[in-house]
Structure 1
Amino acid sequence: MRQFMLLIALTFAALAPSPAAADPADIAAASRGVVRVVLVARDGGQVFYVGHGSGVAVAPDLILTNAHVVEPAQGDGSIVIGVVPSEGSKSYGAKVVAYSPGNDLALLRLADGARVTPDTIYAGAPSDGMDAIAIGYPSNVDQAQGLQVEDIIRPQAAVKTRGTVSGGRSAKQFDTILHTAPIGAGNSGGPLVDACGRVIGINSFGSVSDGNDAEFFFAVSAREIMGFLRKAGVQFQTNAAPCRSVAEMTAAEEERQAAARARIAAEERQTSEMRAKAEAAARRKAELSVIAEREDGMAIAGLLLALAVIGAGAGGLFFTRGQKYPAIGGAAAGAALMLGAVLVYLARPSMGDIEDRIDLPKIVPPKAATNSAAAPTGKLMCTLQPERSRVTVSGENEVPLDWQADGCVNGRTQYGKDGSIYTRIFVPNIDSSVSKNSFDPATGEYRVERFLLGLDAMTKARSVRQQYDVPSCDAGADAQTRLRAMQSAIEQVLPPQPNEMLVYQCSKAEG
């Protein structure tokens, strides 16, 4: 009995919904914004390594870290701060522009126009038991690798560790998140992210263990982070959408498409049944009409025939009496009536005329079975469909779109036609993301697939794009061919799955 109950419990545990597992591509995308914050001291002509922590970009030129990481540089002009990104070949100087030891946060501005891809902050509340990933540069990993100071100031990948959030336990000094993702000295200032790669906290400190107890760690919460950044006047990216895995999205979309196919099939059956009933009723009506006309024709022909017999008989009677002219009149009338009877009989509709007389009423299919959602041309407003979208970094709920029937968008951007879908792939020179935008005029569906790429992948995509002349609107058929070739070549260097999938429904814009 006990084994049976255990089996039932395991079965229900397997069927219970689970939070989205971290997608390596999303964590890799978040790692692009993670940096090492290095402090060095100058004494005459010598340079000494003071220490390092981690940080995360919250704007292209702004790095968020812990106040205690940069505390040695406060008031000490001999200590300089350097920022080492996770990719590329350069490191940069930085200055403290905001400092808040009360909640252990500091903001650095990069020097010399340097830029790092910023991460997105999760604006929702982390749930108890959710996945959490710490990203940073723990010192013990550097020591295990035998890295020297010259190695530390060169860009290299950040270290990722996984754990879970334990809700309801915050530090007294400021709002924190308790979690189990292992961090060490050097992780301070690095982000704690959710399964979609969004920042939910900044790692700050850990619990004290005597070697026998489990270790737990604390991160400054996103609520503290956003308040600090707003006070510093920073424009930062936020997102509060639920974290959904690609597998969940795929399953949900397949379920939606299956339901749509079933609905369309049911509507087609309904339309077919309506058409069959209408055809049967029209056929019966035509049959009754033909039968009635045939019967009426026979009755009239019979009446004319009877009158013809009477006329002929009257003519004969007059003839026997020697009344010549009345006899001729009677005979003529009888002949005319006889001819009329024959003509009326022959003019009756035949049974073969039934098909020609069937008047089928117009059958209007149900609304969903038609292209009633087809988007018009001109200015459209496209509204995000959250239930069909995977949102990880974006915040656009509405997108304006000026659409023309030839695939020209906003009067300047030509989309390439592939079947009934128009597509355009965008590879920007500055932002580290590639967007594949597509529009289906038949349904009014606008889709944006966003790939958040690392430096090497982004360089490859830009290199491919630069091999082609990007056509403008009204450039002709040859330009369409070149555009298809360019987009096909770019797709070859993209990952199989995007980080974001945004689905919009477009309709005529008001005003």
Structure 2
Amino acid sequence: MARLLALAACLCALLAALPAPALAEPADIDAAARGVVRVVIIGTEDTPDGAEVFPIGHGTGWAVAPDRIVTNAHVVRDAMMDDSLRIGIVPSDGADAGYAEIVAADPRSDLALLRITSGLRLPPLTMASGPVSDSGEAFAVGYPMNVDRAQGLEIGDIFRSQPPVKSRGFLAGMRPSRNFDTVLHTAPIARGNSGGPLLDGCGRVLGVNSFGADSGGSDAEFFFAVSNREVIPFLRAHGVTARTNDTACRSLTELEDDERERLEREQALARQDMAARSEQERERLTRARFEAEMQVRDERDDRLLASIVLLLIGAGAIWWAFEKRRVPEPSEDHPNPSAWPVPNRIALAAGGGAIVVALLVHFTRPGIDEIDRRVASVMQGRDTGEAADPAKTATERRTFLCRLDPQRSRVTNAETGDVRFEWSPAGCVNGRTQYGVSGGTWSRVLVPNDEMAVSVNSFDPDRAVFRTERYLLSRDAMSKARSARGEYSAPSCEAKGAATQLGEMQSGVLAALPSNPNERLVYDCEPVRD
């Protein structure tokens, strides 16, 4: 029994040590679903009361550009053969339905590209451009008819905005089928899912769901999506450059764990560096004291010797002046001759001056306390040159060039090009955009009118790190964020108290955002010369 318990404990420890698989972020799947639409083939019939509109069939599509929809060719086959039929686009997120026309269709790969002809605009999905794994989570998003029937929806209900159905499964590999590349997976789809996206755990499109394997009701069910190796060239051939992303799909939890470990490593290195600096400082102090003692001792000895020499010279000159003094006899020209001829007076003055200088040299010798002063001067770096002017540093504007750090970033949809900007200590970017400061963090909240995403940019000038966190929001959440943003007007750059005021003003928008962003872009910055 003890052996079994020990074996079980070992197995538990082994399982705990294995890396946990990255789980999907529900917010990423929800964000991708904003660009998923129901594609409805619409017929009309003249009646005594006027033209009656009725659906002939429907499938799913997704936005590859604000006004471009990808779906299956078989979804719009009827509209391709009958000009009287129209293609309706019903968004998933509260916007009015619109119409679309066929731009291109390829029955071989079962792909079709539609253009929205009404004012409807959608957030495009991002396509995974890297190799597709043979395993891992996958999500099918669309409008299966069996769900509509189970809900008891009427025919006309499909013209109203409804969230798409999200089903979870796993990837089962890549394989050619029907003369085109497909992704095999187990995320359940049904009639009506055709043309919808197959997503990875980060909400990026892996392919276009097309058909399922006939299991006969007994075998495990598998489903096929047209792979991006077919979709991307098809779009490019018809003038659409899709958003693509080839970075590894990482969860925010994993990213934050890595960031925490990185900070711990930095702190450990900082402590080691501090200990090494302390040891270096001790060595430097010992060396500085030894050199200062040697210098002071040599200077004291030199001055003592100089003072003795000067005393001897002065004493000799005075002795000579007294010893060689001769009083001349009185004459008619000099009835009272001086007892000190000129040479003796010069010698006497020189001797007295030498003694005075000798005393000055002796009493101005550096004392023992001079050693401490010289050591302090060396340790404070006053011997290495002029110190920087703090007033000049405080008002300095600097230009930074920032490059994305993929290891610290989570990118699913955003552009990742280099960022260049001029930063002032007052938080003014490029002389026109004021950043707010709150809790020691410089940030600016951006709420655009033409995009369903809120960005929070922040900059740490001390560490030279620029960060963008993006929140991909629904129409309702975006409306709330815009309403909160409309409550204030950002102060002009470098106005008095502008940074603190803006930091407080932005709190209303930040409170309207989810707790976690969908994307986090971290840039390492370097100062550059203009």
Flag whether TM exceeds 0.5 (same fold).
yes
Alignment of 1:139-288 (within 5 A): 139-288=145-294
Counterpart-to-counterpart distance in 1, 2:53 and 2:315: 138
1:39 correspondence with 2:50? no
Counterpart-to-counterpart distance in 2, 1:63 and 1:139: 20
**Selected match of 1:465 from 460, 468, 485:** 485
Gaps of 5+ in 2: 320-338, 385-393
Residue 368 of structure 2 aligns with which residue? Answer: 351
CA contact (8 A) 1:412 1:473 kept: yes
Residue 483 of structure 1 aligns with which residue? Answer: 502
CA contact (8 A) 1:375 1:443 kept: no
Amino acid at match of 1:159: V
Residues 48/288 of structure 1: CA separation in 2 closer, same or farther (3 Å cut): closer
Alignment of 1:273-312 (within 5 A): 273-292=279-298
Query: CA offsets per residue over residues 221-240 of structure 1, 9 Å max, x none?
Result: 01111111111111321111
Residue 15 of structure 1 aligns with which residue? Answer: 17
Query: CA offsets per residue over residues 461-510 of structure 1, 9 Å max, x none?
Result: 00011111233435x22554542233111000011111111111233557
Amino acid at match of 2:215: S
Amino acid at match of 1:53: G
Amino acid at match of 2:378: L
1:138 correspondence with 2:140? no
Counterpart-to-counterpart distance in 2, 1:76 and 1:251: 56
3-state SS, counterpart of residue 68 of structure 1: coil
Amino acid at match of 2:369: G
Alignment of 1:302-381 (within 5 A): 349-358=366-375, 359-360=377-378, 362=381, 377=397, 379-381=399-401
1:501 correspondence with 2:494? no
Query: CA offsets per residue over residues 9-60 of structure 1, 9 Å max, x none?
Result: 6644443334421001111101101111122322223444322111111111
Residue 438 of structure 1 aligns with which residue? Answer: 458
3-state SS, counterpart of residue 416 of structure 2: coil
How big is the shift at 1:189? 0.7
Residue 332 of structure 2 aligns with which residue? Answer: none
Counterpart-to-counterpart distance in 1, 2:207 and 2:507: 39
CA contact (8 A) 1:437 1:449 kept: yes
TM-score by length of 1: 0.85
Residue 55 of structure 2 aligns with which residue? Answer: 49
**Selected match of 2:408 from 369, 388, 413:** 388
Residues 428/298 of structure 1: CA separation in 2 closer, same or farther (3 Å cut): closer
Q: CA RMSD in A?
A: 3.5
Counterpart-to-counterpart distance in 2, 1:21 and 1:496: 18
Counterpart-to-counterpart distance in 2, 1:397 and 1:247: 25
How big is the shift at 1:291? 4.2
1:104 correspondence with 2:110? yes
Residue 367 of structure 1 aligns with which residue? Answer: none
CA contact (8 A) 2:99 2:117 kept: yes
Query: CA offsets per residue over residues 55-103 of structure 1, 9 Å max, x none?
Result: 1111111111111111122221343221111111421122222111111
CA contact (8 A) 2:206 2:228 kept: yes
How big is the shift at 1:306? 10
CA contact (8 A) 2:42 2:87 kept: yes
Residues 61/289 of structure 1: CA separation in 2 closer, same or farther (3 Å cut): closer
Counterpart-to-counterpart distance in 2, 1:398 and 1:309: 82
Residues 452/298 of structure 1: CA separation in 2 closer, same or farther (3 Å cut): same
Residues 304/440 of structure 1: CA separation in 2 closer, same or farther (3 Å cut): closer
Amino acid at match of 2:259: E
Which deviates the most, 125-134 or 398-407? 398-407
Counterpart-to-counterpart distance in 2, 1:226 and 1:239: 12
Residue 83 of structure 1 aligns with which residue? Answer: 89
Residues 466/286 of structure 1: CA separation in 2 closer, same or farther (3 Å cut): same
Residues 6/71 of structure 1: CA separation in 2 closer, same or farther (3 Å cut): farther
Aligned residues: 490
**Selected match of 1:95 from 90, 101, 111:** 101
CA contact (8 A) 2:437 2:500 kept: no
Counterpart-to-counterpart distance in 2, 1:415 and 1:192: 39
Amino acid at match of 1:60: P
Residues 356/147 of structure 1: CA separation in 2 closer, same or farther (3 Å cut): same
3-state SS, counterpart of residue 165 of structure 1: strand
